[in-house]
């Protein structure tokens, strides 16, 4: 179950008119009188699928499937609402949905097949890249779903583009019957409602009089429309609101109309009345209609356009469909998108309440006087906000709204603003002044006389509204006063920037952080507004010269997203059997698109089932003095509280014995489990857990890497870990140049869509069955057995599927299963635990933050001679997997470059954060990033293009890595050359150079980055897999293996392997689940090894059966069917069951002796990316990405390409967007040790809007890998680092901006500069010094804060 943003996974549609909404935030009682449609209602596996469901499944748009129902409903709602859907509209239909697996491209392709303008999609159907049939590598066309024509394509390179899919896909059947609108609702007449529940009374009045009567009777009642704020408060802040009122049928609050000048005494212009309960979608549609209709003069629409600009990026479609403007005002969020618009335009609010005579009295108030303090407004007891009146703009009055967030789509603002000025021609101002002087017998004011010499315009009035700069939405009053009467020119704006600094004197301790960035954004918005207004006036206003050079116009450019396109290219190999190598869909896709696929929390509750919630530490480091659960135990529905004293077995988890299941004496981080509460419902358990009182004696806390280094706080070997090759000291002495630097990489939240969850079901004789969302069933049963004090053979763990894992469920999931099992064993009742999103993020660990210090020696021709690197990882408070994570970082410190002398040293820092853990790449991306930072530094020091330096030093076949492993079948140069050719790299460079010369405030950059990723568990014993294969008498095949399915398509590949080995169709093979009583002692599904080890185990099991069947098969006629063969085999008493086992040969590196192969083989890839950066805000857009990936002979090209796209998108988040913020010395506005970025409200992963506009994937052809099943290669982790191509393309764009600044000022800001990861908007903007940052006093090399 997903908390806070449940629409990520589950959507609902209200039909008539159709609109989608967020289930978790919407009260069912509020939909009285509506027709509600769910994903189950539009289609299912028994009655047939809706075309939406079919397309998403067929286009490989579902991997883990947890988000799929919500995505299906978002598309369905858009199609129901939009009879003529367009490519562009469909591209924007998913702004309220997230997916962590797919990379979004296949979902968008599926959606576009419904577009009426699909034929206008750009791109070619087939890439002309092949040779001849004689070469066995000619090209063909295949539309990338399993029904496509693969026969006869052996040895062919297949290319499928977005355009070719749209041309080939079946069109939506317009005659298909949709769900009919219920007859009962066609003539539905609403009535007043008063529904009393056990804890809440719900009112729905029909008139304003009725509404104010209820509010007078219940002055503390909450008025809710979309429930978007109250829903959050009740769920996460445990607020109680016994009376709720829905005003959506009160006519005055639903008004939306234009009013002529004079209708409102406060305005001399036309205005628009907006009812407080009108949905944001309705406002958007109405305003858009007014602007586009031509009924209004363009100069009158400024206020409407400002609102529309903010609504474009306001939350999501699901929220806009139910959220209202009144809620946006009354909640008084300091980072509101709309409030700055109402502030800047001097809008008026209307309130209503009953007076002493019982009549309705109205009160009007300017918005500027409404906000009193943080979340406090001038709304009096018993009063109702009725409407807001928005004035239209007049001639020479300009309004513009701005917003910058961590992500454009569905994100709250860092800073939002609306700026308004009213100008007056200086000639007109002078005439007025002369007339006044003549009438009063005085002289013309000196300021006006000075302006007359300049010409242009004078500022009559200015009002600037901001969000994110104060504890309320606020006006920049000092700046406004300063501007009045001044000339509208660049000098005035530059001076106004300094005044903004006085209006908003933020500092390091300001809540929200990012003080310098927020101030800089205010200045940037002002400059953008200045350019925007100058463009509108279109007159010469500075001494007869054009106001702005042409390149300055780029300041106002906004990111417009055209329709994205992509191409997927792969090869079908003649050596592969029919089933293997075919791009078949994920075997669960058709269940996932209908919502029928079951996850742990979807399982029907078992008899007498209980629910549990963790009791967590709120102290980063301290001794536990007392635990008092008495208040919690007295609460309704609570069945028990269990802590360390209640554990019958070992209170110990983890591989190293350094972690307790429940803290007994000492807590080491905020979020450490101290106990578990069990209750009748999940809600009761969560609320009761908050009532357990714990007293601590606080101890000193280490909160980041720098603190750990200072205190010498390490995990693992205290001396650290070292890999060394050659003589680095001598290498530096022989180098012509030496540079030193530092690179920091922030942590990353897994953000699997299904949070940690488990169900413990006790049975007789101490048995326990665990149904878990885990990558590690074997460790789960071991940990549960230890906690219960029983043997492992009495515990079974079963895994059907996970809603994502990415490494986060490799070890951390077992703790929650064990906690539930302890309670279940004690109470003899089933216990389920499902973590809320904020709890999951705060307690279960993330990707390790790293700090790398490097020293590089090299010659002037670019030859690398020596590298000395120190890696420090933030491990959290206990070991978990931090040591092998650090090891992999050290193994990958060379990336693809041969450096004869390397010294790589690393330490795992022990800090008072939750133990950080495995995450896709497992330390590899961090080590690779430090390597590329060093390469980038060298290139800038030499003035050499980065791609030239990289190619010069790239590994060659047969060379050895720094850990002494010989590289065989090293394909990185082939992949590099193919990628360079596909993108026409030099041409792209020239395009960027031309663009950058023409645009001062928009810059483009390109980068091409290679990767080498080692494949194996670095712990030798884990490189093993098992499988069990049964064939039943009807010929059907049941496969069980040691791997778990988390969306990566492992089960699908195993089905293909089994079908290929047995020579049967894939439909004959089924995998039900992973279970420890079927295949014991399994390795975790991790390290990208699962297809290799389990595939070989499945293959060997099938081989055994095939060998047994061969004599019988040979004795039968050739046309004997499979079913007949198996039937006869049964009667011949042939064993139709087999167990397969596989261990990876020749792996196991020993750090003590620095010997042994670290990996079984390596995967290689190359990525090119082109980006465009807004220099003034730090926002960026990925224009194009091309990836060439070596996957050997692909077991399933569709799944492998899906993994590449998904990993790349996750890497995009790691390197450019996703930022963990912890309470530490850099973030003093937070409580020490607490995680600020909890939940999707504060933590942002890439969305549909972040997909590269052109996204091309090519699987390297003719690259078989003899070391894995069917010559394939691992795919889950290797592509992730390729997203660093975006990071380094961004860095190139920043370098272009810095070069411009150097030309302007000669301040030397070009050349090498530090850009830490992730390259957020803050880091990008602050790396681009300009006259605005200089005016604010920001140092040229300012480095934003970070949690490392």
Reference 1045, options 598, 579, 602; nearest CA is 598
| 91, 564 contact by CB (below 8 A) | yes
| DSSP helix/strand/coil, 1178 | coil
pLDDT tens figures, 1278-1315: 999 999 999 999 999 999 999 999 998 877 566 899 99
Exposed/middle/buried for 357, CB within 10 Å: 0-12, 13-18, 19+?
exposed
pLDDT score of 1003 = 98
pLDDT score of 294 = 87
pLDDT score of 571 = 86
In this structure, the strands spanning 1180-1189 and 474-475 are unpaired
pLDDT score of 263 = 86
Highest mean pLDDT among 76-80, 190-194, 754-758: 754-758
Residue of 33 and 1085 predicted with greater confidence: 1085
Model confidence at 161, in pLDDT bands (50, 70, 90)?
A: confident
> How distant, in Å, are the alpha carbons of 836, 862, 898 from that of 742?
37, 20, 21
pLDDT score of 1041 = 98
pLDDT score of 855 = 98
Distant-in-sequence, close-in-space partners of 23: CB < 8 Å, separation ≥ 6: 6, 7, 10, 11, 12
Q: What is the distance between the alpha carbons of residues 482 and 560, in angstroms, rounded to a whole number?
A: 34
Q: Is the pLDDT of residue 169 over 90?
A: no
- Averaged pLDDT for residues 678-690: 96
> How distant, in Å, are the alpha carbons of 149, 162, 1001, 1270 from that of 112?
22, 9, 33, 35
pLDDT tens figures, 409-427: 989 999 999 999 999 998 8
Phi, psi (rounded to 5 degrees) for 756: -55, 130
- Averaged pLDDT for residues 742-757: 97
pLDDT tens figures, 627-669: 999 999 999 999 999 999 999 999 999 888 899 999 999 999 9
Active site residues: 1277
Q: What is the distance between the alpha carbons of residues 67 and 39, in angstroms, rounded to a whole number?
A: 12
pLDDT tens figures, 507-521: 989 999 999 999 999
pLDDT tens figures, 617-627: 999 999 999 99
Reference 405, options 1196, 1320, 1323, 1338; nearest CA is 1320
Q: Is the pLDDT of residue 544 over 60?
A: no
Reference 1199, options 1092, 1051, 1042; nearest CA is 1051
Residue of 996 and 2 predicted with greater confidence: 996
Residues present in the chain in total: 1348
| 914, 877 contact by CB (below 8 A) | yes
**pTM score:** 0.95
pLDDT score of 971 = 98
pLDDT score of 1308 = 59
pLDDT score of 1281 = 98
pLDDT score of 8 = 40
Q: What is the distance between the alpha carbons of residues 352 and 384, in angstroms, rounded to a whole number?
A: 5
Tokens (6 digits) for 950: 């990289």
Reference 1143, options 1075, 1086, 1092; nearest CA is 1092
Model confidence at 1039, in pLDDT bands (50, 70, 90)?
A: very high
pLDDT score of 1309 = 63
> How distant, in Å, are the alpha carbons of 322, 346, 799, 1270 from that of 575?
56, 73, 34, 9
Helix 490-503 × helix 515-537 angle, to 10°: 150
Percent of all residues in the chain with a pLDDT value above 90, rounded to a whole number: 81
Mean of the per-residue pLDDT values for the chain? 91
Residue of 17 and 1248 predicted with greater confidence: 1248
| DSSP helix/strand/coil, 1055 | helix
pLDDT score of 32 = 82
pLDDT score of 133 = 31
Q: Is the pLDDT of residue 1215 over 60?
A: yes
């Amino acid at each position: 179950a997903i908390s806070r943003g449940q629409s990520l996974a589950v959507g609902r549609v209200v039909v008539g008119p159709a609109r989608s909404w967020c289930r978790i935030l919407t009260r069912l009682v509020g939909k009285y009188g509506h027709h509600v449609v769910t994903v189950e209602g539009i289609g299912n596996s028994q009655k047939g699928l809706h075309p939406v469901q079919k397309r998403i499944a067929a286009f490989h748009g579902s991997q883990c499937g947890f988000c799929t129902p919500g995505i299906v409903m978002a598309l369905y709602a858009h199609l129901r609402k939009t009879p003529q859907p367009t490519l562009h509209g469909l591209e924007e239909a998913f702004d309220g949905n997230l997916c962590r697996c797919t990379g979004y491209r296949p979902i968008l392709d599926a959606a576009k097949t419904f577009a009426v303008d699909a034929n206008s999609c750009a791109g070619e159907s087939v890439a002309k890249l092949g040779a001849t049939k004689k070469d066995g590598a000619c090209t063909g066309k295949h539309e990338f779903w399993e029904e496509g024509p693969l026969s006869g394509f052996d040895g062919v390179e297949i290319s499928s583009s977005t355009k070719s899919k749209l041309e080939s896909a079946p069109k939506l059947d317009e005659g298909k019957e949709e769900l009919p609108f219920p007859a009962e609702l066609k003539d539905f007449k609403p009535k007043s409602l008063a529904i009393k529940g056990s804890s809440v009374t719900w009112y729905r009045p029909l008139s304003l009089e009725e509404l104010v009567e209820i509010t007078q009777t219940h002055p503390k009642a909450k008025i809710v429309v979309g429930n978007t704020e109250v829903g959050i408060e009740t769920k996460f802040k445990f607020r109680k609101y016994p009376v709720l009122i829905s005003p959506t049928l009160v006519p005055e609050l639903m008004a939306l109309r234009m009013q002529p000048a004079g209708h409102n005494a406060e305005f001399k212009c036309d205005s628009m009345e907006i009812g407080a309960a009108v949905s944001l979608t309705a406002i958007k549609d109405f305003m858009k209609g007014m602007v586009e209709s031509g009924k209004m003069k363009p100069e009158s629409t400024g206020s409407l356009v400002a609102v529309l600009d903010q609504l474009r990026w306001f939350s999501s479609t699901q929220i806009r469909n139910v959220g209202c403007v009144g809620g946006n005002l009354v909640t008084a969020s300091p980072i509101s998108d709309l409030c700055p618009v109402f502030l800047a335009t001097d809008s008026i609010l209307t309130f209503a309440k009953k007076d002493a005579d019982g009549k309705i009295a109205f009160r009007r108030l300017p918005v500027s006087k409404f906000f009193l303090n943080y979340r406090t407004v001038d709304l009096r007891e018993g009063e109702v906000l009725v409407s807001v009146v928005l004035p239209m703009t007049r001639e020479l009055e300009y309004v513009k709204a701005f917003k910058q967030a961590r992500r454009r789509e569905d994100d709250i603002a860092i800073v939002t603003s609306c700026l308004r000025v009213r100008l007056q021609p200086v000639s007109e101002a002078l005439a007025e002044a002369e007339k006044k002087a003549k009438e009063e017998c005085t002289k013309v004011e000196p300021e006006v006389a000075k302006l007359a010499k300049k010409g242009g315009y004078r500022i009559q009035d200015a009002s600037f509204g901001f969000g994110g700069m104060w504890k309320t939405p606020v006006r920049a009053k000092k700046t406004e006063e300063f501007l009045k009467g001044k000339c509208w020119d660049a000098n005035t704006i530059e001076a106004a920037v300094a005044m903004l600094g006085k209006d908003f004197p933020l500092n390091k301790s300001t809540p929200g952080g990012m003080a310098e960035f927020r101030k800089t954004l205010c200045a940037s918005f002002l400059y953008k507004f200045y350019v925007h207004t100058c463009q509108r006036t279109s007159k010469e206003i500075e001494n007869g010269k054009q106001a702005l050079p042409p390149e300055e116009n780029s300041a106002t450019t906004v990111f417009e997203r055209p329709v994205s396109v992509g191409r997927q290219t792969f090869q079908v190999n003649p050596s592969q059997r029919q089933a293997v190598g075919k791009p078949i869909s994920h075997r669960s896709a058709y269940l996932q698109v209908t919502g029928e696929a079951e996850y742990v929390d979807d399982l029907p509750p078992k008899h007498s089932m209980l629910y549990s919630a963790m009791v967590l530490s709120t102290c980063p480091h301290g001794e536990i003095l007392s635990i008092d659960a008495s208040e919690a135990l007295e609460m309704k529905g609570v069945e028990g509280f269990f802590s360390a004293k209640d554990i019958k077995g070992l209170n110990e988890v983890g591989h190293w014995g350094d972690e307790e299941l429940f803290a007994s004496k000492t807590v080491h981080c905020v979020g450490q489990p101290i106990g578990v509460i069990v209750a009748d419902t999940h809600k009761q358990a969560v609320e009761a857990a908050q009532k357990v009182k714990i007293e601590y004696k606080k101890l000193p806390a280490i909160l980041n890497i720098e603190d750990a280094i200072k205190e010498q706080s390490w995990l693992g070997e205290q001396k650290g870990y070292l890999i060394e090759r050659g003589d680095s000291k001598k290498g530096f002495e022989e180098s012509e140049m030496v540079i030193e630097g530092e690179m920091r990489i922030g942590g990353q939240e897994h953000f699997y869509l299904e949070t940690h969850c488990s169900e413990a079901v006790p049975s007789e004789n101490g048995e326990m069955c665990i149904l878990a969302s885990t990558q590690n069933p074997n460790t789960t049963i071991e940990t549960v057995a230890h906690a219960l004090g029983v043997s492992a053979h009495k515990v079974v763990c079963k895994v059907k599927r996970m809603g994502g894992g990415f490494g986060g469920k490799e070890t951390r999931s077992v703790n929650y299963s064990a906690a539930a099992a302890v309670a279940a064993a004690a109470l003899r009742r089933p216990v389920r635990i499902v973590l809320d999103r904020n709890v999951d993020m705060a307690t279960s660990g993330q990707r390790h933050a790293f700090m790398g210090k490097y020293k590089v020696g090299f010659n002037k021709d670019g030859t690398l001679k020596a590298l000395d690197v120190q890696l420090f990882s933030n491990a959290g408070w206990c070991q978990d997997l931090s040591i092998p994570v650090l090891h992999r970082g050290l193994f990958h410190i060379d990336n693809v470059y041969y450096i004869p002398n390397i010294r790589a040293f690393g330490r795992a820092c022990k800090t008072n954060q939750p133990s950080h853990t495995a995450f896709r790449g497992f330390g590899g991306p961090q080590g690779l990033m430090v390597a590329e930072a060093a390469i980038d530094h060298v290139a800038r020091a030499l003035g050499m293009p980065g791609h030239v330096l990289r190619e010069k030093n790239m590994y060659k076949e047969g060379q050895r890595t720094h850990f002494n492993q010989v590289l065989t079948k090293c394909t990185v140069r082939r992949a590099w050359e193919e990628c360079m050719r596909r993108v026409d790299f030099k041409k792209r460079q020239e395009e960027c150079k031309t663009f950058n010369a023409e645009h001062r405030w928009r810059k483009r950059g390109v980068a091409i980055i290679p990767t080498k990723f080692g494949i194996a568990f670095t712990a030798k014993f884990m490189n093993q897999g098992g499988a069990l294969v049964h064939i039943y008498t009807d010929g059907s095949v049941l496969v069980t293996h040691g791997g778990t399915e988390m969306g990566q398509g492992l089960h699908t590949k195993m089905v293909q392997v089994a079908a290929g080995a047995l020579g049967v169709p894939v439909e004959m093979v089924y995998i039900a689940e992973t279970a420890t009583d079927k295949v014991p002692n399994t390795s975790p599904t991790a390290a990208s090894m699962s297809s290799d080890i389990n595939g070989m185990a499945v293959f060997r099991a099938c081989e055994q059966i095939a060998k047994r069947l061969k004599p019988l098969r040979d004795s039968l006629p050739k046309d004997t069917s499979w079913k007949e063969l198996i039937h006869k085999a049964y009667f011949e008493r042939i064993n139709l069951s087999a167990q397969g086992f596989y261990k990876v040969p020749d792996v196991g590196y020993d750090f003590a002796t620095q010997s042994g192969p670290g990996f079984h083989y390596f995967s290689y890839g190359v990525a090119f990316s082109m980006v465009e950066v807004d220099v003034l805000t730090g926002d960026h857009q990925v224009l194009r990405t091309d990836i060439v990936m070596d996957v050997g002979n692909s077991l399933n090209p569709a799944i492998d390409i899906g993994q590449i796209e998904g990993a790349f998108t996750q890497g995009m988040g790691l390197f450019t967007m996703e930022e963990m913020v912890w309470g530490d010395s850099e973030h003093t506005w937070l409580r020490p040790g607490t995680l600020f970025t909890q939940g999707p409200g504060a933590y942002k992963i890439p969305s549909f809007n972040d997909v590269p506009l052109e996204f091309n994937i090519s699987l390297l052809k003719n690259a078989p890998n003899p070391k894995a099943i069917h010559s394939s290669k691992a795919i889950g982790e290797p592509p992730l680092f390729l997203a660093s191509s975006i990071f380094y393309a961004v860095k190139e764009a920043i370098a272009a901006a810095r070069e411009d600044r150097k030309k302007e000022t000669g301040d030397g800001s070009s050349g090498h500069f530090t850009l830490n990861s992730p390259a957020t908007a803050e880091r990008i903007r602050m790396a681009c010094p300009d006259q605005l940052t200089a005016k604010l006093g920001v140092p040229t090399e300012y480095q934003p804060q970070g949690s490392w």
